[in-house]
Chains A and B, each alone.
Chain A
Amino acid sequence: MSNEKGRFGAHGGQYIPETLMNAVIELEKAYDHFKDDPEFRQELSTLFNEYAGRPSRLYYAEKMTKDLGGAKIYLKREDLNHTGSHKINNVLGQALLAKKMGKTRLIAETGAGQHGVATATAAALMGMECVVFMGEEDTKRQALNVYRMRLLGSEVIPVKSGTATLKDAVSEAMREWTSRISDTHYCLGSVMGPHPFPTIVRDFQAVISSEIKQQMKEKEGRLPDAVIACVGGGSNAMGSFYHFIEDKEVQLIGCEAAGRGIDGFETAATINTGRPGIFHGMKSYFCQDEYGQIAPVYSISAGLDYPGIGPEHAWLHDTGRAQYVPVTDDEAVDAFEYLSRTEGIIPAIESAHAVAHAVKIAPAMDKDKLIVITISGRGDKDCAAIARYRGEDIHE
């Protein structure tokens, strides 16, 4: 999909300070070497299966299917992974790679805290030092995850600059990497940033679509008609889509966080409201003003509250291979409650965006159609915030 300079059509590239260039070149070389190394593959596969609990289940949501009365719905249960989300797939891969490269320290950005927790977990497991940058606003929204990271032995640095959310955490992690490169690997959490990160993260997350394909064949004997996943930077969606890109009959749908609606400014729906730009190391779509100032985006979901999208998604959008739809806070919260009541599964508020879209389209689809929704994470972390959204003040 990407050429040697990490381009996905017009998107991607390496728009970073000269100080970091040799670091990303070294990372690319190491990745190219280890990705096909049988020992590395074996170690990663063992970590996936024995530590993270893969393969994750593909669960037939029978009650939801009957309730909606249309397409047959399957849930890809990434929420059942160790640490509670898909983030562990990428982190185990990158931490193992970093260790092979001789790095002793991981740094990471986090929005909802899921990537930070996953990175802190891998660092604990592999005996590495770990520092996580998190927007100060998000440390309040996701206080429990801050505690989890500290419990796992990581330092959490609240980022006060800009909007004090995910984009500022990414900026601060990049600044930190510029000042300490030799022993430090920047464990980027999504399919974004400078090449080779979008490719590396996608490859480690592609286990999701590889399993869906296999499991669907076992259960239904065919490919699904639609795969639906939420998109911030886009790692769980890219992982869910990747092995279906060549199967043109499979519809790929990414659900963006529309916040309070795509007609206003309080949104984080990048494809729906953004335009091409260059930021955080990549050319892609970004929410920005007429002068290219990055927009202060908003979503109830800290994990989707990001003004850009990974370059491969931008390319899938340009080519029409995937479709990107906006889902509002209200719709996501409804879906969060719906899946909890209907299937006894509390999804992350991020994943609830994908559930919301499935709830919209499934009823109009024939009963012999198959939908897969990726439940990228579990929703325990969101309960207090959703309660507040509904006007109920609970203590965590």
Chain B
Amino acid sequence: MSRIAEAFKDGKAFIPFITCGDPDIETTKAAVRAMAENGADMIELGIPFSDPTAEGPVIQGANVRALSGGITTDRVFDMVRELRKDVRIPLLFMTYANVVYSYGTEKFLSNCRDSGIDGLILPDVPFEEKEDFAPICDKYGVELISFIAPTSENRIAMIAREAKGFIYVVSSLGVTGVRSEIKTDLASIVELIKQNTDVPCAIGFGISTPEQAAKMGSISDGVIIGSAIIRYLEKYGKDAPGHIGEYVKSIKDALG
């Protein structure tokens, strides 16, 4: 069993997201440690991209702050190497196809393996285009995460059968960001996925409150939260890690 799949073994998994280098690397490191100490089961590390087309305004803002702070892909790898001295939970990169492709897909994934990255999430790489990345991910033991969206319908079985690590179930139409209500019939989507694979399902997009997390957790194997965490960085900057730790604990407690 992969390290990612194992993280789903003890109850519902909580997967927080953070943009690396927002506002600086030291804050990201402190936040990652705070999340790990407060019950995060794995962490999505966003490598900033100039034009994050799947993100809403909150994470777009984090990308802008991080890039203007001088973050680069190489500095993110250095940060992961250092975090790996004491952070044991699975770490995944979330970024855009061009960040990987432009760096050199082979070199990027070789660095992922060497620095201790377990998985890769690319929101602009659908099933049809994964051949550019999947074989190289396999070669370096990094799991390429598949997305299933409310619009996937007839595509669910095809995607689920080849999924690795976990399946990222997109809760709603649109981009990332906090939503007051999630209307998609996610239970039937998850059920359809389960008919086709044993890979765990985590729901993301729009979740922010412990109540929402508990509800989404009840119909899946875990929840992903991004924008709600980035809001602490937006508000508190370098002082955000303490607040993020408390928030992570509240979500993890709600997931039970």
Residues of A within 8 A of B (CB): 5, 13-23, 161-162, 167-168, 171, 174-175, 178-181, 275-281, 283, 286, 288, 290-294
Contacts and interface: CB of A to CB of B under 8 A. Distances in A.
Interface in B45-104: 49-51, 53-54, 56-57, 60, 67, 72-74, 96-103
B1 to A, nearest CB: 25
Where chain B touches its partner, the secondary structure class is mixed
B53 A278 contact: no
B68 to A, nearest CB: 11
28 contacts: A5-B128, A13-B128, A15-B97, A15-B126, A17-B54, A18-B126, A18-B146, A18-B149, A18-B159, A19-B147, A19-B150, A19-B151, A19-B170, A21-B126, A21-B127, A22-B152, A22-B153, A23-B151, A161-B60, A168-B51, A171-B51, A179-B174, A276-B101, A277-B101, A278-B124, A286-B98, A291-B99, A292-B49
Contacts of A293: 49-50, 67, 99
Nearest to B74: A291
A200 B149 CA distance: 26
Contacts of B159: 18
Given A178-B174, A288-B98, A14 B126 contact: yes
Closest 4 CB pairs of A and B: A292-B102, A179-B174, A19-B149, A18-B147
Contact of B51 (A16, A18, A178, A279): A279
Contacts of B60: 161
Contacts of A161: 57, 60
Contacts of A178: 54, 173-175
Interface in B98-112: 98-103
Given A162-B50, A171-B51, A278 B175 contact: no
A14 B147 contact: no
B42 interface: no
Nearest to B152: A18
A276 B128 CA distance: 19
From A17, A162, A276, name the one whose CB has the most chain B CB atoms within 10 angstroms: A17
Contacts of A15: 97, 124-126, 129
A196 to B, nearest CB: 13
A171 to B, nearest CB: 5
From B98, B125, B153, name the one whose CB has the most chain A CB atoms within 10 angstroms: B98
A80 to B, nearest CB: 36
B102 to A, nearest CB: 3
A288 B129 CA distance: 21
Nearest to A26: B151
B155 interface: yes
A18 B101 contact: no
Contacts of A291: 72-74, 99, 102-103
